[in-house]
Structures are given as C-alpha cells and as structure tokens.
Amino acid sequence: MASTDSWTHEIESPVAAARLFRAGVMDWHTLAPKLAPHIVASAHPVEGEGGIGSVRQFNFTSAMPFSLMKERLEFIDADKCECKSTLIEGGGIGTAIETATSHIKVEPAANGGSVVKVESTYKLLPGVEVNDEITKAKESVTAIFKAAEAYLVANPDAYN
C-alpha cells in the first residue's frame, strides 16, 4: 500500500504578499500563457468563478511530461493570501499519483516583500517511486512565482 508523503518549499520575493498571491495564484491561469508560453500553451477556468469548488485547466507544451492538469480550489482566504487545491486530472493522476493537494500561503515579510510557503501532499500509486520529481516540482513552483514577480516588478500598477 502506498503511503502519503509531502514536501515543503519557501520562496522569498520583494513583491508584496497580496499582489503576488493575486498574480501568481488566483490569476495564474491568465498570466501563465503570457509569461511562460514555452511551458503553458493555454489555461482557462473549466467550472466556477474562482471561488471554492472552481476548476481550472492548464494545457502544457512538450516541455512538460504531461499535456494537461486540472485543479479544483478547495479552500481560499484572499485576505490571508492562502489557498488549497486538489489535482483532479492530468499531472500524473492515475499514472503515478493517486492523490495530490497543494497548500499555498503568501506571507508578508519584514522588508515589505513576501515569502511564499508551499506544502504539497501526495499519495503515489503502488509500485511508483519518487526520484527527482520533487526537485523538479520545487523548481517549477519557484519558476511560477519568479515569473509573476518579474511581471509585477515591471508593471508596478498591476494587481494593486
């Protein structure tokens, strides 16, 4: 029987927590195809208006090992810049992963910037082993927030 495992990751940013949360989490389906077109071919809401229960889909280029990923928003507290989502299709579900959730919280830092805290919990299918996937996942999460950060630094009026 496969066990449930998790990993955590922190990313520091000079961008304020609320702006980074809105751009890098809540509106990433809009920004990703513009900021990372070499990875995200397209993205769009599938169900809902962005609240709890909403589903969004990301379609990837050949740079990724899977063609799509659908995630459902399970929890959101926009004031605290925190959300939790569940992977419901693609992204290894059914081929390597039985279940996967991500908890993201963007906290204010003393310097006026922020710290992104990510916890990912997953259950592998029987017989599947994790090799360098966790390192790749952390690199991907960092790339997402650094792309959002670069956009926000270059566009100081965006997501205020």
Domain ranges of the chain: 3-154
Confidence of residue 148 (pLDDT cuts 50, 70, 90): very high
CB 90 within 8 A of CB 68: yes
Closest CA to 67 of 59, 76, 77, 75: 59
Model pLDDT for residues 72-120, shown as the tens digit of each residue: 999 999 999 999 999 999 988 888 899 999 999 999 999 999 999 999 9
Residues in the chain: 160
Closest CA to 134 of 3, 6, 4: 6
- Token pair recorded at residue 98: 């039985």
Hey, what CATH class is 3-154 in? alpha beta
Other C-beta atoms closer than 10 Å to the C-beta of 122 total 23
- Give the torsion through C-alpha atoms of 79, 81, 84, 85, to 10 deg: 110
Whether this model's pTM surpasses 0.85 = yes
Model pLDDT for residues 23-73, shown as the tens digit of each residue: 999 999 999 999 989 889 999 999 999 899 999 999 998 888 889 999 999
